[in-house]
Amino acid sequence: MDMVSWYQGAIFTSGGSDCYCYSEKGDTIYYISDFYHLSSMLSDAIPISYEEGVKVSGTSIYRYNYKERKIVWSTGITSPYNEPSNSICTYTLLDKSTNIWKYKVDILYYDGTKKNFMFTVNVDDGKVTVL
């Protein structure tokens, strides 16, 4: 990871195993040492503050605190369908205007069949509701 855009113009940048979060003015917001896996944790995460982001990974959604290096909450996403493990799920964030975010999940089965469903997640407590 060289540089990742983040919350309100901030960026993450790394030098070896060290990582810094800088404001858009170049001020250091915080520093993280020995954080090798930050780039994979930041990939596709949606920032909700300088320190935290929400990410869908596999069949889970979680809120992660990057400064503290800990999961705030993690919740499984249970599909209304019984898709096999070789199906491909694509998640699209439809609305994040409140603390209840709405996602659409498109499922592509190995045989070409397509299905979809929607769910909401409360980004404060991780409660998921399939619609």
Residue predicted with more confidence, 58 or 60: 60
Least Cα distance to 118 among 107, 106, 128, 131 occurs for: 131
Residue 1 — pLDDT band, cuts 50, 70, 90? low
CATH number for the region 3-76 comes to 2.40.10
**Given this model, what pLDDT does residue 19 score?**
84
Token output for 22 = 């800088």
Q: What is the pTM of this model?
A: 0.85
Residue 43: DSSP 8-state: T
Question: Smallest Cα–Cα separation from 74: which of 84, 86, 66, 64?
Answer: 64
Residues of each domain in the chain carrying CATH 2.40.10: 3-76
Q: Burial code of 17-32, b = ≥16 C-beta within 10 A, e = fewer?
A: eebebbeeeeeebeeb
Closest CA to 79 of 64, 95, 100, 58: 58
